[in-house]
Structure 1
Amino acid sequence: MPQNLVMTFSDRAQAQAAYEKLKSSDLALGQIDLLGTGYRTLQETNLYDPNQVAWQQATRMLYWVVPFGFVAGFSFNEITHLAILERGSALANHIIGGFFGAIASAMGGFTFGGGGQFLIDREKMPFHKRLKAGKYLLVAQGTELLIRQASRMLQGFPADSLQFYEDVDR
């Protein structure tokens, strides 16, 4: 499975120097791109944003988890006869129990579906936001071994961030 290396640079000259170093190397990388002002755009590449994929997975999970949570909460309240609202009818209490179940399943589905990374790691800004902020992205794609060799070559460059991830079928 192809691997990706994405380095973010604030300085155009540093990004260009890193790009030239990779281009002039004898590594058989599948693709090397420099994205940013004056270079290629995100739409011109086949690079996908791992944050975007995680968000899509989280929302897909919510579509099927929330209805099950509602049914589970409704059923639990019906079985236990918990009175959430003292003056409410049994049906109203069951429906409120269903809503609580749906909320709980939404929280779990969001967290375990991949959406929790947005809350925990604020440094992983989506690629398009980095480009809008005037940063430059150096992208290299290839096998895991080639990506490791490329990252060793680029260790001396002052990058803002460095990400590795596997390319998945979308």
Structure 2
Amino acid sequence: MNYLVAVLPDRIQAEAAYLALEQEGISIDQVTILGRGYKSADEFGLIDPNEQAQKQSRLLLFWLVPFGFVSGLAFNLLTGLNAFPWAGEVGNALIGGLLGAVAGAMGSLFVGGGVGLAFGSGDALPYRNRLNAGKYLIVVQGNELVTRQATRVLRKFEPENIQGYADSGV
């Protein structure tokens, strides 16, 4: 399945493009308008980058906190570091483990959240930003012939951006 996404500045042009696609013989089941009064980004299924960042952060938290605890514990035992004399040998080892777990949690929040936010959304974030700015998206789904035909029709409306995607089926 191939996708074609065109960004149009207003509702009038989006509706005109929709009608032109319909007149060209492209099935209305293959064409979707996103914007105010039509489908939202969430209804269509555009990935929310904040959701992806939280998901990535939770996954890293699951692995890094225990690893940090064990690493902090091992470091303290191997070096014989006595940072807190009042805690004794076992207490220092546990404090080292807790500090390692805290470091793992911070790593998961900063790295997992930041990477998820920056790279987890692909092109969805720019499209969401355009929808938030009041623009409209025309999305055409179909085989390569349909998307080529739709590209030819949509170029007449001078969209801000027109981008094709091929679904890899993964």
TM-score (norm 2): 0.67
The one-character-per-residue Cα deviations of 1:112-150 (angstroms, maximum 9, x if unpaired) are: 6x4323799796142xx6445322221222234422432
Larger Rg: 2
Aligned letter for 1:7?
Answer: A
1:98 — aligned with what? 101
Contact 2:10 2:134 in 1 (8 A): no
**Stretch deviating more after TM superposition (115-124 or 75-84):** 115-124
Q: 1:66 offset after TM fit, Å?
A: 0.4
Instruction: Assess, with a 3 A threshold, how the Cα gap between structure 1 residues 36 and 57 changes in structure 2: closer, same or farther.
Output: closer
1:20 — aligned with what? 19
Higher helix share: 2
CA distance in 2, matches of 1:83, 1:124: 52
Q: 1:159 offset after TM fit, Å?
A: 2.1
Q: 1:70 offset after TM fit, Å?
A: 0.8
Contact 1:30 1:140 in 2 (8 A): no
1:149 aligns with 2:144: no
Root-mean-square deviation (Å) = 3.9
CA distance in 1, matches of 2:141, 2:123: 24
Instruction: Assess, with a 3 A threshold, how the Cα gap between structure 1 residues 105 and 166 changes in structure 2: closer, same or farther.
Output: farther
CA distance in 1, matches of 2:30, 2:81: 59
1:109 aligns with 2:112: yes
Q: How many percent of aligned residue pairs carry the same amino acid?
A: 29
Structure 2: where are the runs of 5+ without partners? none
Aligned letter for 2:23?
Answer: S
Matched positions, count:
161
Of 46, 59, 62, which residue of structure 1 is paired with 2:57?
Answer: 62
CA distance in 2, matches of 1:72, 1:132: 41
